[in-house]
């Protein structure tokens, strides 16, 4: 464990400590399923529409349903206003979000249909794609889409040489030593990786430690997700 | 969608002719307005407004820009609306379509024409540097009347907006540091309010079902008996003799809205 180091995180967290997580299922009445997921100041909401008829028709798959995700940061979610609409970054994140979720969905039940997942980042302080994936997994479950399991996502960071869990903006822009390495990871509760990215520099050995930390953190997230779903069932989706 | 609205049309009209609505409101009654400010930290001002089940998020961002040649000593305003596919099965992804563009423009004109923002106080260096104000409107759940929800939200977001500090050397905004409130007109609030006509009935704050069968709408942005901007929408008509009735309905509704959102203004 890397805990014995005296490493000081900018917000005083332990190296393996996530920011306070907030979850709420059923935040968008029009949607078939919806959820909010927050890591501290990073707030994502997700809405699921479908299964519904796939348009355009040529995109239909007669063998199984299609999962279509759209990740979008609101223009005012960061300091420098983002021009509304898609960009190269959001297009890629939309795709990796689909890949992160697909393995647990039983899409074969919905030939020719599409399941649309829309993710909006309302407020951003790094790890937005992870918050988005966590919200999306909850929204899909809330929509009653048959799933083999949930997925949970967390970002592991390497700041200089130190590994930390759930990277915030100050850490993402780490300037000392080897600088920042950002490793968002998504896993099923039994430890299967459905999504992983990396920007920076890391050794094979340390990467194994990254996965261990990710597994531990996603387990905690999974428990929180499960609780939120249970609560939404008990209250019948009412506040 | 079309099928449902056709089915509902007869029922809604029958109800309205008896002065009734699906949710039990009077024709001149607004739904409950719920407001939460400061919903997005990196925005200079932000708010969540709910009208019943309808929900919008509005954020204000500011940036340093070049003034337009015809207004060298005034700040700029840009209002943009996104009818997100997250908020309704009827909205699709992609570049904003006509309804989103119209919505943004209606809200923009109400604020601009009323001179609610004191643009001259947003001039940094005449002819060279001014502040740009961006109002961004996002629909979160559409259960009718996004237009008025957006109008109310834009005003409250502006009221909550703090101007970032200006870095003289780099000629850039210093985000996260603010020294003053956005300069706004005092004692004047340009509320944007839409009256709909269904059959012979005039009503405000329609539910989605009502909005779908609305034959015409008229949005007026105004304060007391002064109107700053107006837009008629949809293909129906209104007899000119009924305009005083419509305007009075709008004026009274604006007053009531102001009373309900007063503590945020």
The CATH number that applies at residue B212 is: 3.30.230.70
pLDDT at B1 over 80: no
Q: How are beta strands B191-198 and B201-204 bridged, if at all?
A: antiparallel
The vertex-B94 CA angle with B92 and B98, nearest 5°, equals 75
pLDDT on residue A237: 56
What is the rounded CA–CA span in Å between residue B75 and residue A133?
39
B170 and A CB contact within 8 Å: no
Q: How far apart are CA B235 and CA A225, in angstroms?
A: 48
ipTM for this model: 0.88
Residue numbers in B near A53 (CB within 8 A): none
Sketch the domain layout of chain A as residue ranges: 9-234
pLDDT tens sequence across B111-141:
999 999 999 999 999 999 999 999 999 999 9
* pLDDT per residue as tens digits for the range B165-213: 999 999 999 999 998 999 999 989 999 999 999 999 999 999 999 999 9
User: Tokens 């706004």, residue?
Assistant: B184
Best of B86, B88, B132 to disrupt the A interface (most A CBs within 10 Å) is: B86
Residues contacting residue A239 through CB under 8 Å, at least 6 positions apart: none
Which residue from B minimizes the CA distance to A85?
Answer: B95
Residue B2 has pLDDT above 60, yes or no: no
Mark yes or no for CB contact A120/B53 under 8 Å. no
Inspect the interface and report whether the beta carbons of A120 and B61 lie closer than 8 Å.
no
The whole-number pLDDT of residue B179 equals 85
Residues of A in contact with B96 (CB under 8 A): 84
Pairing status of strand A21-25 against strand B216-223: unpaired
Gap from A211 CA to chain B (nearest CA, Å)? 32
Residue B152: its H or E element:
helix B146-159
Mean pLDDT, chain B, rounded, equals 95
Identify the segments of chain A with pLDDT beneath 70.
Answer: 1-5, 237-239
Report the C-alpha gap between A222 and A192 in whole angstroms: 13
Tokens of A188: 């099923």
Q: Which residues of A touch B40 (CB under 8 A)?
A: 43, 74, 76-77, 122-123
Superfamily of domain A9-234: GHMP Kinase, N-terminal domain (3.30.230.70)
CB–CB of A120 and B59 under 8 A?
Answer: no
- Can you read off the two tokens belonging to residue A90? 């959001």
Tokens, residue B13: 């009209």
Q: Are residues A80 and B175, on separate chains, in Cβ contact within 8 Å?
A: yes
> So what's the pLDDT on residue B4?
65
Residues 6+ positions from A38 with CB-CB distance below 8 Å: A21, A22, A23, A44, A131
pTM for the full predicted model = 0.93
Please give, rounded to a whole number of angstroms, the shortest distance from the CA of B64 to a CA of chain A.
11
**pLDDT score at B227:** 95
DSSP readout, B90-133?
A: T--SSS--HHHHHHHHHHHHHHHHTT-B-GGGGEEETTTEEEEE
Of the candidates B39, B80, B88, which has its C-beta nearest A84's C-beta? B80
Per-residue pLDDT tens digits for B17-74: 888 898 999 999 999 999 999 999 999 999 999 999 999 999 999 999 999 999 999 9
Shortest CA gap A143–chain B (Å):
14
Q: How many domains does chain B have?
A: 1
What is the pLDDT at residue A3? 47
Confidence category of residue B9, pLDDT binned at 50, 70, 90: confident
Fill in the DSSP letter of residue A74: -
Residue A7 has what pLDDT?
Answer: 87
What pLDDT shows up at residue A55? 85
Domain extent at residue B37: 2-264
Using a CB-CB cut-off of 8 Å, the residues of chain B touching A42 are none
- Nearest-Å Rg of the Cα atoms of chain B is 19
Largest CA distance in chain A: 58
More confident residue, B264 or B2: B264
């Amino acid at each position: 464990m890397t805990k014995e180091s005296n490493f000081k995180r900018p917000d005083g967290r332990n190296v393996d400590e996530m920011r306070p997580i907030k979850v709420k299922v059923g935040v968008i009445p029009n949607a078939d399923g919806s959820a909010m997921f927050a890591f501290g100041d990073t707030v994502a909401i997700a809405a699921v529409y479908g299964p519904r008829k796939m348009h355009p028709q040529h995109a239909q798959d007669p063998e199984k349903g299609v999962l279509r995700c759209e990740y979008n940061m609101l223009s005012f979610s960061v300091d420098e206003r983002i021009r509304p609409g898609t960009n190269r970054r959001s297009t890629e994140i939309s795709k990796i979000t689909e890949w992160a979720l697909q393995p647990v969905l039983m899409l074969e039940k919905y030939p020719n249909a599409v399941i649309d997942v829309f993710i909006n980042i309302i407020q951003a302080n790094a790890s937005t794609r992870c918050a988005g994936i966590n919200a999306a997994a909850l929204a899909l479950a809330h929509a009653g889409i048959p799933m083999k399991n949930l997925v949970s996502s967390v970002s592991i960071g390497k700041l200089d040489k130190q590994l930390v869990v759930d990277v915030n903006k100050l850490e993402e822009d780490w300037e000392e030593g080897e600088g920042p390495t950002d490793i968002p990871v998504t896993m099923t509760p039994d430890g299967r990786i459905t999504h992983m990215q990396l920007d920076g520099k890391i050794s094979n050995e340390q990467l194994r430690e990254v996965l261990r930390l990710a597994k531990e953190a996603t387990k905690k997230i999974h428990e929180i997700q499960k609780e939120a779903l249970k609560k939404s069932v008990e209250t019948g989706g009412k506040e | 969608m079309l099928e449902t609205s056709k089915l509902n049309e007869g029922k809604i009209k029958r109800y309205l002719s008896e002065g009734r609505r699906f949710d039990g409101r009077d024709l001149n009654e607004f739904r409950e307005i719920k407001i939460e400010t400061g919903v997005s930290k990196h925005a200079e001002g932000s708010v969540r407004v709910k009208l019943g089940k309808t929900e919008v998020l509005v954020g204000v961002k500011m940036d340093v820009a070049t003034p337009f040649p015809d207004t060298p000593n005034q700040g700029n305003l840009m209002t943009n609306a996104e009818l997100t596919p997250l908020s309704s099965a009827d909205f699709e992804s992609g570049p904003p379509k006509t309804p989103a563009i119209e919505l943004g423009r209606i809200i923009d004109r109400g604020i601009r024409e009323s001179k609610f923002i004191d643009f001259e106080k947003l001039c940094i260096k005449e002819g060279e540097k001014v502040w740009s104000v961006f109002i961004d409107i996002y629909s979160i759940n559409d259960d009718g009347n996004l237009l008025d929800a957006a109008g109310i939200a834009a005003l409250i977001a502006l009221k909550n907006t703090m101007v970032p500090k200006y870095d003289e050397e780099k000629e850039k905004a210093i985000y996260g540091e603010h020294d003053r409130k956005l300069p706004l007109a005092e004692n004047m609030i340009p509320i944007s309010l839409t009256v709909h006509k269904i059959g012979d009935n005039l009503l405000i704050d329609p539910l989605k079902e009502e909005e779908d069968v609305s034959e015409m709408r008229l949005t007026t942005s105004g304060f007391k008996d002064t109107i700053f901007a107006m837009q008629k929408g949809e293909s129906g008509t209104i007899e000119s003799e009924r305009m005083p009735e419509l305007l009075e309905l709008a004026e009274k509704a604006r007053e009531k809205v102001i009373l309900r959102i007063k503590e945020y203004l």
